[in-house]
Amino acid sequence: MLRQGNRKARARYRLQGVRTSKVRCLRLMHHAGLLAPSQARRVLGTRFEAPKPILQGVKARFGAYD
């Protein structure tokens, strides 16, 4: 098994009669350096970039949110 994902590794273990969890398999493969390279995560921006106009709209409509 040369740098594979945990699903393939777990499937091979299952064929050999060894049952293991996903978390345990990932942990062991990580410590042994056998995990395949994964995609980089995207950096997401802030959810509310301009909260002032939103608060002004709420205040104008409902007269609250001071």
What are the pLDDT digits (tens) for 39-48? 777 777 666 6
- C-alpha–C-alpha distance, residues 62 and 16, integer Å: 66
- Cα angle, residue 52 at apex, residues 48 and 57 outer, rounded to 5°: 105
Percent of the chain with pLDDT over 90: 17
- Give the chain's largest Cα–Cα span: 68
pTM of the model: 0.48
- C-alpha–C-alpha distance, residues 55 and 43, integer Å: 26
pLDDT band at 17 (very low <50, low <70, confident <90, very high): very high
Q: What are phi and psi of 4, to 5 degrees?
A: -120, 170
Does residue 34 surpass a pLDDT of 70? yes
